[in-house]
Every structure is written in C-alpha cells, then in structure tokens.
Structure 1
Amino acid sequence: MKAVILAAGRGTRLRPLTEDKPKGMVEVAGKPILTHCFEQLAALDADEFVVVVGYRKQDIIEHYDDEFRDIPITYAHQREQKGLAHALLTVEDHIDDDFMLMLGDNIFDANLGDVVNRQQEDRADAAFLTEEVPYEEADRYGVCDTNDYGEITDVVEKPEDPPSNLVMTGFYTFTPAIFHACHLVQPSNRGEYEISEAIDLLIQSGRTIDAIRMDGWRVDVGYPEDRDRAERLLEGDGEPDAEGSEATAESD
C-alpha cells in the first residue's frame, strides 16, 4: 500500500518547539516525528510515502528530499489548513487503491499491522486503530460506536455527550471511496472539514468500517510535555497508560 502522512500543521500548541520548524520536524528521542512515522510505515511495507505539507514545507522537503530508505516520497501541498478531510483531498490524484493514513504528529508502539491485515484480508472499506479513554476525556476526540461484530456504526467529532469511550487514533486504512465522502463534507462548527464526518458518510452509504482495538501505546505530540512523554516511552522509562494530550487538529 501507499502511505499518506498528514504533516501540514503549524504546531501552535507545541511552541516554542515549533517557532523555527514545522511540527513534523520536532525531534523526539533524537529524530524528527516524521522519521518515526516513516519508520513505522516502512515496517508495514509501504511502497510510497505521500506527504501532505503546508507550514514551512521546505524544511520537510529539504530534509527528506524524494525518498526515505529507498521508498519514494511524493509531496502534496495543503495551502490552507482546513481540517483532515480537506488535507486528504490534496492527495486524491496520487491514490488509486487501498492506502494507509497516518497523522504526522503521532508516535506509535502498537499493533498497526492488524489494521493493514484487516483491510487486506476482509476487504473492508476502511479500518482504523481505536483506543479506550476515560469517559470524561472522550469529548476531546472523534468518538466511535460499534456493533457486536466490531464494525463502526457511528462517529461523532468531539461530542458533548459521547456515545462511548472508544476513540479514533491517528492511523487508518481506506479505499479510494473516502475521497468521494470528503468531497461531500461540509464545514463543522469549528470551520473545518472533519474526517469523522467523511467516515460517517461512508457508514451511511452502507460501507463496512472495522475498528481495531489498540494493543500498545501511542502519543499524539500536541504539546511540549507530550514530546517528553513520548521520549520516556521510547526509552522504556514511562508508563504506556499515562494520560495523553487532547487530540489535535490538522490546522494546529
């Protein structure tokens, strides 16, 4: 599969770490967040990286050029940060088959391969990694509801009254059907084109979407303290179930 990485955000919550670099170039345990993403996706046999860039895009392009460990890199430019569905549409012309999607500010030590295997073996229209969080924190995320078969029946972005405590993480697989759904998305109350809305449109059209429960940990590097926590986990000096940060939007 090709792997799409969203890395156009400004990283305003990560300041001062992002005062002179884009969020994806902030170092965690001695290397940029994007390098961690590329390594994880390479281990899943990605055959091409399609990277969505925006803020300080040249820093990313000059650092990685056109390949990473012999895997070619294609860049797509998101001129305005208007949400994840908007970012995803910038790569539509580069994708013609099932693909992986990773948010470029997440670091995982988890069962990502289970998501890819489910997509390939069951021919689902989408599959993604989910995790359970305390109910009082679920309203910070895209919240999922599932049926008895583990299929997602509803996705709500940052709901006031969450239907569950099962939330989306930053790793997905999709068929190209997601692009049609993204074209239909209307701006949310935040003024952004939410990927959760595109996923919900897929569900309403009768598509099958599987939820894979996370085994391991992930850190959404949204704040400086998240960078520090990710470093401790990578170095084996932290607790995987420690409280994480609020999920961040691509416009950040």
Structure 2
Amino acid sequence: MHALIPAAGRGTRLGECTETQPKGLVEVAGQPLLAHVFETAIDAGADELVVVIGYEGAQIVDHFGDAFAGVPITYVHQRERLGLGHAVLQAEPHIDGSFLLLNGDVFAGSVGPAVSAATKEGVDGVLAVEDVSTAEASTTGVLELDGDRVTGLVEKPDDPPSTLVTTGCYVLPADVFHACALVQPSAEGEYQLSEAVGLLVRAGYDIETVRLGERVNVNTPADVEQAARLVRE
C-alpha cells in the first residue's frame, strides 16, 4: 500500500522553527516530525512512501534520502501550494490503487483502524474523524453523515452541519485523482480535497468514518510540545 504524505507547507505559525527549514524537519522528541509520520504510515502497512515537498523541500530529500526504515520514498515537488487537493493530484503518477493519505503535520499514535476499516466489503474509502466545537468546525472540513456513512462534506462552513471533522488521515480510492481534477478553486485559489471526496460521495462511493485515538495537528510551538508529550507517554 502506498502512503501519500503532503509535506509542502512552511508552517508560518511555528515562527523561528521554520524560518530556515521546512515544517516536516521540526524536531519532536528527538527526531523530525516527518519521521514520526513515516513511522505511523509504515506501522499501518505502507510499503512505499510518496512525499509531496515544497518549501525548502531539498532539505527533506537530503535528510531522508531514498528510503526510511527500509521503505522506499518517492518525492513529488508541488511548485505552487494550491491546497490539499492540488497536492494529491501531483502524486497521481506514483500511486497505484487505494492509498493511505496522512498529512505531514499530523502526529498520531496509530492510523491502523482507518486502514482496517477500508478492507471491509463494499467500503470504497475511510476518513478518520473527530468531534470538535462548532467554532472549530467552521475552520475546516465538516462531515454530513448517515450513521457512519459520509453523505457530504463542506469546507469551512459558516453554519456547520455537524461538529464532526476530518483529521488529516484518509484511505482513498484511486478515483479520487479524477475527482481532484474536477474540483474548482476556492475563493482563495485553493483546490480542496474535501470537495473531491464530496464528488465521490455524490457519485455513490461508500466512504466510511473511524475515530482515532489522541493526535496532534502540529501548527504551533505548543503543538510541538504536546506531540512530544505523547511520544514520552
């Protein structure tokens, strides 16, 4: 199984930590953030890593080389950072079949439950989700559900239909690449992955949800400390 890891962002909210290096190389408990992400993907069954790089991406290539823990790495350069859907589309030539997508700034203990759920008969894809406040839901991708089945997604809604949101971990069918190609840019000029997944849902694909354990979306120095605490525990 391929694991696609978008890691093109700079991480401006990390301040001095990313002035001269990419976000993925920020140290968390003694090793780069991306090393933790790679370990999580491999533990879930990934046998090839496809890493989307951008800001200071050469540093990531120099640090990790062509393999991590014996698992080969392919690098894809996202020349313009135009959203997660755009990042996914850049990797299409390097991925076969369904794949795990794990954002390069997400620290999670395990994503195995999402991968396992995707193996169930009739399931086309899986989103790892969590419950948040209504205020936070309005800043990210929000799900509409019928039981555990996703019936729709909306990005950064003014009036969220639920407080269940995506977490940066997905198991997606290869058809998501075609869906990403159909997505229109947002007002900010970004191509949203949530819109592409919404297209799959409307086309009849069965997209399920799972809830993961504790995780950290590493955006600030405080998040780095929280992720480090989880490592120590």
Tell me if TM exceeds 0.5: yes
Q: Secondary structure of 1:6's match? A: strand
Q: Distance in 1 between matches of 2:9 and 2:27?
A: 16
Counting only pairs closer than 5 Å after superposition, residues 87-166 of structure 1 correspond to structure 2 as: 87-110=87-110, 112-148=111-147, 150-166=148-164
- Shift, 1:204, TM fit: 1.2
Aligned to 1:79: 79
Q: Is the 8 A contact 1:125 1:177 kept in 2?
A: no
- Shift, 1:154, TM fit: 1.1
Q: Distance in 1 between matches of 2:21 and 2:122?
A: 39
Q: Distance in 2 between matches of 1:90 and 1:191?
A: 16
Q: Distance in 1 between matches of 2:58 and 2:229?
A: 30
Letter in 2 for 1:153: T
Q: Distance in 1 between matches of 2:63 and 2:140?
A: 32
Q: Distance in 1 between matches of 2:127 and 2:118?
A: 9
In structure 2, the CA distance between the partners of 1:62 and 1:123, relative to structure 1 (3 Å rule), is farther
Q: Secondary structure of 1:17's match? A: helix
Q: Secondary structure of 1:117's match? A: helix
Q: Secondary structure of 2:16's match? A: coil
Aligned to 1:213: 211
Q: CA RMSD in A?
A: 1.1
Aligned to 2:3: 3
Aligned to 1:189: 187
- Shift, 1:123, TM fit: 4.4
Q: Secondary structure of 2:171's match? A: strand
- Shift, 1:155, TM fit: 0.6
Q: Secondary structure of 1:82's match? A: coil
Q: Distance in 1 between matches of 2:124 and 2:219?
A: 29
How many residue pairs end up in the alignment?
233
Aligned to 2:169: 171
| Segment drifting more, 189-198 vs 78-87 | 189-198
- Shift, 1:29, TM fit: 0.7
Give unpaired runs (5+ residues) of structure 1: 237-252
Give unpaired runs (5+ residues) of structure 2: none
Q: Secondary structure of 1:16's match? A: helix
Percentage of pairs with the same residue: 48
Aligned to 1:22: 22
Q: Distance in 1 between matches of 2:67 and 2:96?
A: 20
Structure 1-normalised TM-score? 0.90
Determine if the alignment matches structure 1 residue 234 to structure 2 residue 231: yes
